[in-house]
Amino acid sequence: MRAPILGAMPTPPALPAGARLLHLGPHKTGTTALQSAFDLARADLGPQGVRYVSRSRHDARAARYVTDRMVAGRDPARAERAWRAVVRELTAASDERRVFSSEFLSDATDEQIARIVREVGTEDLWVAITLRPLARILSSQYQQGLQRQSPHTYDAWLRMVLAEDVSAPEPREFWTRHRHDALVRRWADHVGADHVVVVVLDPRDHAFLPHTFEQLLGLAPETLAGRDAKENRSLTADEAELLRRFNIDFASLGLGPDHYVRLFRHLKDHLKEREPAPTEAPLVTPDWAIERANAVAAEMAEAIRGLGAAVHGDLDSISTTRLAGVTATAEPPANVDAAVAAWFGAGLALAADRLTSLAPPAAEPAAAAPPPARGLRGRLSRRG
């Protein structure tokens, strides 16, 4: 019999022993830092009756498989094995509280959620959804698109995403993840609203998210929050524009998405290792987009309240982002700093070197046919 979470409160009660928790993200809501904390805390989780169900920091391959979001060039059979391993761990008889975290679960359609729930089972299954202000997610998701070969300027992308008609692929993907009331409703329809937990990040307290998951899982304080967890920094305006222009030129060469994925797999970490100068301008969301995002987020907050899920944190905060003072368009920089371009170029050289070193050895060239025999000896051999 299910043990419900009783209402919305600042300190969540611990899930019962044997509970399975799916953390869905969505994207850009502290997922990388939380997954990193779980990964670093593995040795301390077991003695406290908690298991992090992922073979790495984030087993994205498994979640991508079950939501049909496979990366070009990746092995689907290997991805399926990864998902099957997650299912086995989540369905094995155990008194441990188990948690699997992947923001790609937020991409799941109703049919895919039904499949996930069918394979994992609903008994003692909870879902956690983490939220942050919608207006602050815009630039992060734009940058994520750039890393998947998008050619759009920030202003053009904002106008697509915040338009009335969002039938185009990029807006549709964004709102599947970030129409948060619909996300809560989709999963509540399958697991019950009393088994959905909404955690709203507190920008003033970076430990709020890991502390909340400690409480949900019955962990001692600082088991997660005390870790030096990895966080993804944002691209600067120059870095974003350089990557956008690269995407356009890359496509003009006729190179396919598989090539881009392999290249960027080695390039992205190099880009994030760079420490921008304090004077480098960030990517700024203009006021018109912030106002629109705040209005949508207020609608979402009101709808979430009516769904009956437990909410931890300030739900109103997702619609109160301050204006940036940029009243016009989000124009890209006309010129990119030379230091940024040099770092990007060095990253491309590094990525190319790694791709070359990982490539299978070239086949030995076939032995050349002997030259035709000449003279009497040749005529005799041809007769024989």
Q: Do the bridges between strand 196-200 and strand 125-131 make them parallel or antiparallel, or are there none, so unpaired?
A: parallel
Closest C-alpha to 322, from 366, 353, 284, 360: 284
Q: How many residues does the chain have?
A: 384
Domain assignment present for residue 339? The answer is no
Whether 330 contacts 155, CB under 8 Å: yes
Whether 145 contacts 170, CB under 8 Å: yes
Domain assignment present for residue 149? The answer is no
pLDDT of residue 256: 83
pLDDT tens digits in sequence order for the chain, 384 residues long: 344 333 444 578 999 999 999 999 999 999 999 999 999 999 999 999 999 999 999 999 999 999 998 877 778 999 999 999 999 999 999 999 999 999 999 999 999 999 999 999 999 999 999 999 999 999 999 999 999 899 999 999 999 999 988 888 888 999 999 999 999 999 999 999 999 999 999 989 989 999 999 999 999 999 999 888 777 788 999 999 999 999 999 999 988 888 888 888 888 878 878 888 888 889 999 999 999 999 999 999 999 999 999 999 999 999 999 998 877 777 788 888 888 889 888 888 888 887 777 665 555 555 555 554 443 334 323 333
pLDDT of residue 108: 97
- 301-321 pLDDT tens trace: 999 999 999 999 999 999 999
Q: Which residues contact 64 (CB under 8 A, 6 or more apart)?
A: 70, 71, 74, 79, 104
Domain assignment present for residue 179? The answer is yes
pLDDT of residue 375: 39
Report how far residue 245's alpha carbon sits from residue 110's, in angstroms, rounded to the nearest whole number. 37
pLDDT of residue 324: 86
Domain assignment present for residue 195? The answer is yes
Closest C-alpha to 86, from 48, 37, 121: 121
Quick one: tokens of 328? 């016009």
**Would you give the DSSP letter of residue 371?**
P
Quick one: tokens of 176? 């599947």
- 180-222 pLDDT tens trace: 999 999 999 999 999 999 999 998 998 999 999 999 999 999 9
Report how far residue 52's alpha carbon sits from residue 30's, in angstroms, rounded to the nearest whole number. 17
| 128 membership: H or E segment, kind and range | strand 125-131
Domain assignment present for residue 344? The answer is no
CATH code, 45: 3.40.50.300
Domain assignment present for residue 373? The answer is no
State residue 377 phi and psi, 5-degree precision. Answer: -65, -40
State residue 128 phi and psi, 5-degree precision. Answer: -115, 130
Report how far residue 303's alpha carbon sits from residue 185's, in angstroms, rounded to the nearest whole number. 9
CA distances from 301 to 180, 194, 247, 319, 321 (A): 8, 17, 36, 8, 14
User: Total structural domains in the chain?
Assistant: 1
Domain assignment present for residue 74? The answer is yes
pLDDT of residue 10: 58
pTM: 0.86
pLDDT of residue 360: 57
Domain assignment present for residue 293? The answer is yes
Give the range of the structural domain holding residue 181, as residue numbers without chain letter.
Answer: 20-133+175-232+285-322
